[in-house]
Structure 1
Amino acid sequence: MHRSCLLVVLAFFCFTLPTYAQGATARTIHTYYVAADEVDWNYTPLGIDNMMGMEFTGYSKVFTERGPHRIGSTYRKALYREYTDETFTKLQPRLPEWEHLGMLGPVLRAEVGDTIRVVFKNNATHPFTMHPHGVFYAKDSEGAGYDDGTSGADKMGVPPGKTHIYTWEVPERAGPGPNDPSSVVWLYHSHADEPKDVESGLVGVIIISRKGTAGPTGRPKDVDREFVNLFMIVDENTSWYLQHNIDTYTSDPKGVVKLENFPSDHLGNYNLFGSGFAFANFRSSINGFMYGNLPMLTMKKGERVRWYVVTIGEGLNLHTPHWHGNVVLQGGKRTDVIFIGPAQMETVDMIPDDPGIWMYHCHFDDHMQAGMMARYQVGP
Structure 2
Amino acid sequence: MVSSVLQWSIFMSIFSSICCLRRDYFITAEEHWWDYAPSKQNLITNDRTISDRLIQTTEYRIGSVYKKVKLKQFTDGSFRREIKPAPWMGYVGPTIKGETGDVLYVHFRNLASRPYGLHPHGVQYFKDSEGSLYMDGTSGRDKLDDTVPPGYTYTYRWSMLNTFAPTKDDENCVPVGYHPHVRSTKDIDTGVVGILLICKPGTLNPDNSRKDVDREFVLYADTVNETNSWLIDQSLNLCLNPQRCRQLFNQKNEAFITDTLMYSINGYIYGNLPDFPVYEGEKVAFYAMGLNLGLHVFGVQGQSFTFKRKRTHAVVFGIAWFQGLYMTTRNPGRWMIFCKVNYHFNRELYYRLSGMNTHCYSYCYNN
Shift of the alpha carbon at 1:62? 0.9
Are 1:162 and 2:152 matched, yes or no? Answer: yes
Counterpart code for 1:355 = P
Q: 1:333 aligns with which of 310, 315, 331?
A: 310
SS across alignment from 2:228: coil
Shift of the alpha carbon at 1:50? 2.2
Whether contact under 8 Å (2:270, 2:349) holds in the other structure is yes
CA distance in structure 1 between the aligned counterparts of 2:239 and 2:174, rounded to whole angstroms? 42
For structure 2, the residue ranges without an aligned partner over 5 or more in a row are 1-12, 358-367
What's the counterpart of residue 307 of structure 1?
A: 286
Any runs of at least 4 consecutive aligned residues in structure 1 with deviations exceeding 3 A, and if so which?
23-26, 259-262
CA distance in structure 2 between the aligned counterparts of 1:74 and 1:171, rounded to whole angstroms? 41
What's the counterpart of residue 182 of structure 1?
A: 172
Q: Deviations over 1:34-88 (max 9, x none)?
A: 1110010000112322224x6x722110100101121111100011111222222
What's the counterpart of residue 283 of structure 1?
A: 262
Are 1:252 and 2:231 matched, yes or no? Answer: no
CA distance in structure 2 between the aligned counterparts of 1:106 and 1:62, rounded to whole angstroms? 31
What's the counterpart of residue 370 of structure 1?
A: 347
TM-score after normalising by structure 1: 0.85
Q: 1:58 aligns with which of 36, 49, 54?
A: 49
Deviates most, 101-110 or 56-65: 56-65
SS across alignment from 2:234: helix
SS across alignment from 1:137: coil
Shift of the alpha carbon at 1:25? 9.9
Cα distance, 1:260–1:138 mapped onto 2, change above 3 Å: closer
Q: 2:225 aligns with which of 229, 235, 249?
A: 235
Are 1:113 and 2:101 matched, yes or no? Answer: yes
What's the counterpart of residue 6 of structure 2?
A: none
CA distance in structure 1 between the aligned counterparts of 2:138 and 2:321, rounded to whole angstroms? 28
Are 1:137 and 2:128 matched, yes or no? Answer: no
Deviates most, 225-234 or 76-85: 76-85
Whether contact under 8 Å (2:123, 2:158) holds in the other structure is yes
Deviates most, 27-36 or 211-220: 211-220
Counterpart code for 1:51 = I
How many residue pairs get aligned? The number is 339
What's the counterpart of residue 3 of structure 1?
A: none
Cα distance, 1:332–1:93 mapped onto 2, change above 3 Å: closer
CA distance in structure 1 between the aligned counterparts of 2:333 and 2:169, rounded to whole angstroms? 31
Shift of the alpha carbon at 1:24? 6.1
Deviates most, 110-119 or 351-360: 351-360
Q: Percent identity?
A: 33
Whether contact under 8 Å (1:176, 1:183) holds in the other structure is yes
Are 1:31 and 2:24 matched, yes or no? Answer: yes
Are 1:322 and 2:310 matched, yes or no? Answer: no
What's the counterpart of residue 92 of structure 1?
A: 83
Are 1:49 and 2:39 matched, yes or no? Answer: no
For structure 1, the residue ranges without an aligned partner over 5 or more in a row are 1-19, 263-275
SS across alignment from 1:378: strand
Whether contact under 8 Å (2:109, 2:151) holds in the other structure is yes
CA distance in structure 2 between the aligned counterparts of 1:24 and 1:37, rounded to whole angstroms? 39
Q: Which has the larger radius of gyration?
A: 1
SS across alignment from 2:355: strand
TM-score after normalising by structure 2: 0.88
Whether contact under 8 Å (1:44, 1:64) holds in the other structure is yes
Cα distance, 1:162–1:25 mapped onto 2, change above 3 Å: farther
CA distance in structure 2 between the aligned counterparts of 1:228 and 1:327, rounded to whole angstroms? 17
Q: Deviations over 1:305-360 (max 9, x none)?
A: 1111111113xx21111111111111121111101111100101101222221111
Q: Deviations over 1:175-227 (max 9, x none)?
A: 22232111111100011111111100000011121001222322221111111
SS across alignment from 2:344: helix
Cα RMSD for the two superposed structures: 1.9
Are 1:351 and 2:328 matched, yes or no? Answer: yes
